[in-house]
Amino acid sequence: MLTDPATLAIVDDHPIVLEGLQKLLNNVKSIQITGCFTSGMTFMSFLKENKVDVLLLDITLPDANGIELCREVKAISPETHVLALSNHSERSMILQMIQNGATGYLLKNISSEELVACIQEALNGMITFSRGAKEIMARPSISELKGIPQLTKREKEILQLIADGKTTPDIAQQLNLSPLTVETHRKNLIQKFQVRNVAALIKIAAQQGLL
Amino acid sequence: MLTDPATLAIVDDHPIVLEGLQKLLNNVKSIQITGCFTSGMTFMSFLKENKVDVLLLDITLPDANGIELCREVKAISPETHVLALSNHSERSMILQMIQNGATGYLLKNISSEELVACIQEALNGMITFSRGAKEIMARPSISELKGIPQLTKREKEILQLIADGKTTPDIAQQLNLSPLTVETHRKNLIQKFQVRNVAALIKIAAQQGLL
DNA sequence: TTATTTCTACCTGTTTTCAGGTATTTTTGC
DNA sequence: GCAAAAATACCTGAAAACAGGTAGAAATAA
């Protein structure tokens, strides 16, 4: 099959890494490196003028954080596949990147063959992880999962409404309850989650996937 | 290599699906089906007595929702790999399942060979997706990404503190600012996100991966 | 049928949040 | 250097949230 090679850009603040990746990927015919950048800003201005099929993004940058940069990239150019390239091996970080539009996550200890395979998979429109990242994703930390208080049906219901920005009077009316009752439930929620106010409550609930 | 076959359980409220999967997987020597259940409750009591290496979990159940069930399973038995099996093809749903401890997500249109391969990958301690799920994950909805207001450094900082349950006086003290200033930032955050109160603010921020 | 949990509702008083502004001083980008 | 953006700070008053209780009715499980 003869098609145009895919365009690839790299953002990494270590010039050594940049060179290494360049050398490595230059041998791959299906990929054409069209840009290397050491900061998020310079890449963003490049992206506005040029098509980029795949971006290898080191998420630890001096000027901006990788998560936001990833989102900005996808906002401007949804068809660009962002592959995070990082030493961060926390599951939550990987999840955040994916949540913010990354097509994959590669740990920096990745082998060159694996790297090419992952880029190829991204080009085919599939999410992809390096071996190490796959293993991390399969091992959720126990603390992430437990420690979720047992909520009653009513409490879950009210939690949702609170998260939607409804006030106590709103909720009371919607559920045909006394505002005082709603207040009680709200109080119980705060107590069960051991927090001071709804802000912290909603944060935990959201992070636990309850919303 | 001769090792004990891996134990596998299935939870699905459609008996037909249950039978189909059973028949399909009975031919696979490395896998032994040790239980089939049509409700979350019955499976949970089974799990307390028996080791389960892999659980195929239909996330649309009558009695409990799959997300919570998944978390409960992992809380009791972290070594059990939960593979969600579902028709739901929303990216957010897949993400939620992963966030809640699932080792993988399989769309129900999966082929039998792929199913076996995915189970194998889960047994090897790797996250795994069916082909369709991989494609969905690589295509974040634009609406998910954009529409995030531009926040200043200070606003981000204060947003974090609010999410941690800090009150305006707390934040003012911590940042050496007037409480009135903090109030202004708080107000601007609420306005930028177009919400009524912090509850809704934190929910959106969390869902956008800003926290 | 009990025991337990859940849901309901109430009270008081304090603190915090929110809505509606205005306005000066720094930073930052061009 | 200048314009724009960001950060700072202020004011008032109303609404909502929070702390710290108590307590009866209804549903559920043992």
Statement: the CB of A183 is under 7 Å from strand C: yes
Q: Which of residues 154-173 of B touch strand C (CB under 7 A)?
A: 162, 167-169
Give the minimum alpha-carbon distance from A204 to chain B in angstroms, rounded to a whole number. 9
Rounded Cα gap, residues A76 and A12, in angstroms: 20
ipTM of the complex: 0.85
Statement: the CB of A185 is under 7 Å from strand C: yes
> Higher confidence at residue A2 or residue B18?
B18
pLDDT, tens only, A164-207: 999 999 999 999 999 999 999 999 999 999 999 999 999 999 98
Statement: the CB of A167 is under 7 Å from strand D: yes
Sort out which chain B residues have CB atoms less than 8 A from A196's CB and list them.
Answer: 165, 167
pLDDT of residue A1: 57
- Amino acid identity at A126: M
Sort out which chain A residues have CB atoms less than 8 A from B162's CB and list them.
Answer: 199
pLDDT of residue A62: 64
pLDDT band at A72 (very low <50, low <70, confident <90, very high): confident
Nearest to B162 among A74, A129, A199 (CB): A199
User: Inter-chain contact A145–B207, Cβ cutoff 8 Å?
Assistant: no
| Residue at shortest CA–C1' distance from C20 | B187
What is the arithmetic mean of pLDDT over A76-95?
Answer: 93
A66 contacts A59 by C-beta, under 8 angstroms: yes
Residue B8's SS3 state is strand
Quickly tell me which residue has 């739901």 as its tokens.
B88
pLDDT of residue A149: 87
Rounded Cα gap, residues A55 and A114, in angstroms: 16
Does the pLDDT of residue A84 top 70, yes or no? yes
Does the pLDDT of residue A137 top 90, yes or no? yes
pLDDT band at A2 (very low <50, low <70, confident <90, very high): low
pLDDT of residue B193: 95
A23 burial (CB, 10 Å; 0-12 / 13-18 / 19+) is exposed
Q: Provide long-range contacts, Cβ within 8 A and 24+ apart, for A87-93.
A: A87/A60, A88/A59, A88/A60, A89/A132, A89/A133, A89/A136, A90/A136, A91/A136, A91/A137, A91/A139, A91/A140, A91/A141, A91/A144, A92/A144, A93/A59
Q: How far is CA B19 from CA B10, B59, B209, in A?
A: 10, 17, 40
pLDDT, tens only, A5-47: 899 999 998 889 999 999 999 989 999 999 999 888 889 889 9
| Structural domains of chain A, with CATH | 6-137 (3.40.50.2300), 147-207 (1.10.10.10)
pLDDT of residue A190: 96
Which chain B residues in 37-56 lie under 8 Å from chain A, judged by CB atoms? Answer: none
pLDDT of residue B69: 87
Pair of tokens at residue A92: 């939550």
Region for residue A111 given its phi and psi (left: phi exceeds 0; alpha: psi -120 to 50; beta: otherwise): beta
Nucleotides of strand D lying closer than 7 angstroms to a protein CB: 5-11, 15-23
pLDDT, tens only, B85-134: 999 999 989 998 998 899 999 999 999 999 999 999 999 999 999 999 99
State whether residue B138 sits within 8 Å of chain A by CB.
Answer: yes
Residue B58's SS3 state is strand
Q: How far is CA B118 from CA A113, B123, B125, B180, in A?
A: 22, 9, 11, 56
Pair of tokens at residue A75: 């906002």
Nearest to A85 by CA among A148, A144, A12, A136: A12
User: Inter-chain contact A203–B198, Cβ cutoff 8 Å?
Assistant: no
Low pLDDT (below 50) residues in chain B = none
Rounded Cα gap, residues A51 and B16, in angstroms: 48
